[in-house]
């Protein structure tokens, strides 16, 4: 036990964080024309600049990486300019912000892909469920398995996205390796049945993540790069036969970079763990050498407990931050907390986005 809590400052690489309250990445489907952020997005993020660290919504690195209408990209000059407006607003409000780099892989639909192409994946395995398209929900299709020769090009897309994030004024980047998207599809054996050097054992399945990390670190330096993982999250029809073995291997490989942090979507009680240890926050504390961000339905009491126990260094909050733009202040005062309006989570305009009142204005 320590006397450190969620309000304690923390040095994270070159950044001095005033607290350990992290705004989690949250898809909001409110990008403008050309999937570029605009003034409304700048207002939304600047309202939440009291976070120790803001992690942006997932942001596609290429047109192929798109999986939902209205999500922002980081591959065009218009998108870079739009994000620059966001980071300028956040910095003017005293905040710090990382961009989350994203490729959805099989969680897309031909109607969202360039020239109506099939989505790509490590293996031609269709996920159960439906894709969100401009014409409503449609069944997922069977993706096209990437050729080995194509993978280096996607790694370069991540490098290019990371370089653009620097031009857009971010303080660092986070690799989205969670929640059933492309990196996670390579990691977990339920989605990866490859027989080349990117499939088979856990070390081979982690190769894609490690090559991307190496490329992005080359652009930013390790102290400004984080990685998000979700070892047991079944979202997007994901599974792994032994998540403890898979993610101990992946984390062991990531340790050699000296990254800014590891961000873990922790197991829920209902998550499938067919074999091995449950890879919870204590598991990752044993395996990870650097700063650790916990995530999964935290409230203030539980966040303080996990930090004081030394199991995590920071905690990220999603829905609480969505509905309470001044969340650290509300935590200090013990509330009150705005209730979230779930009908406005995805898509729309200011309603349910920038109109949640600050404390004292409810």
CA 198 to chain centre: 22
Task: Check residue 230 and report its DSSP letter.
Answer: -
- The position carrying tokens 């014409």 is 135
> Among candidates 102, 90, 101, which has minimal Cα distance to 15?
90
- The token duo for 196 is 């080349």
- What's the chain's length in residues? 362
44: left (phi over 0), alpha (psi -120 to 50) or beta: alpha
Q: How far apart are CA 256 and CA 247, in angstroms?
A: 15
Q: How far is CA 140 from the centre of its chain?
A: 22
Q: Would you name the residues annotated as active-site residues? A: 181
Give me the numbers of helices (H) and strands (E) for the chain, helices first please: 11, 14
277-309 as b/e: b if 16+ CB within 10 A = eebbbbbbbebbebbbbbbbebebeebbbbbbe
Residue 74 DSSP class: S
């Amino acid at each position: 036990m320590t006397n450190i809590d969620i309000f304690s400052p923390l040095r994270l690489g070159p950044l001095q964080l005033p607290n350990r309250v992290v705004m989690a990445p949250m898809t909001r489907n409110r990008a403008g024309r050309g999937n570029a952020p605009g003034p409304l997005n700048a207002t939304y993020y600047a309202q939440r600049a009291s976070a120790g660290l803001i992690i942006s919504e997932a942001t596609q690195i290429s047109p192929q990486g798109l999986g939902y209408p209205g999500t922002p990209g980081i591959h065009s000059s218009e998108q870079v300019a739009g994000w620059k407006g966001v980071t300028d607003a956040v910095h003017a409000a005293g905040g710090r912000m990382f961009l989350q780099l994203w490729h959805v892989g099989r969680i897309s639909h031909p109607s969202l892909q360039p020239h109506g192409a099939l989505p790509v994946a490590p293996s031609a395995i269709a996920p159960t469920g439906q894709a969100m398209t401009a014409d409503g929900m449609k069944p997922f299709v069977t993706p096209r398995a990437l050729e080995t020769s194509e993978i280096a090009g996607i790694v370069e897309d991540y490098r290019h996205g990371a370089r653009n994030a620097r031009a857009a004024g971010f303080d660092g980047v986070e690799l989205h390796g969670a929640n059933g998207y492309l990196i996670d599809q390579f990691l977990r054996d339920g989605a990866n049945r490859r027989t080349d050097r990117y499939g088979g054992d856990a070390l081979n399945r982690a190769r894609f993540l490690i090559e991307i990390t190496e490329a992005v670190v080359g652009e930013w330096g390790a102290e400004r790069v984080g990685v998000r993982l979700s070892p047991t999250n079944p979202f997007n029809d994901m599974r792994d036969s032994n998540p403890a073995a898979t993610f101990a291997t992946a984390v062991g490989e990531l340790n050699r970079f000296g990254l800014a942090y590891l961000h873990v979507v922790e197991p829920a009680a209902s998550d499938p763990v067919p074999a091995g240890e449950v890879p919870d926050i204590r598991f990752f504390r044993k395996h990870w050498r650097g700063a650790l961000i916990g995530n999964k339905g935290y409230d203030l009491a539980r966040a303080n407990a996990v930090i004081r126990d030394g199991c995590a260094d920071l905690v990220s909050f999603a829905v609480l931050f969505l509905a309470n733009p001044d969340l650290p202040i509300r935590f200090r005062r013990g509330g009150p907390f705005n209730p979230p309006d779930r009908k406005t989570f995805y898509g729309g305009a200011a309603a349910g986005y920038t109109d949640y009142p600050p404390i004292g204005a409810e």
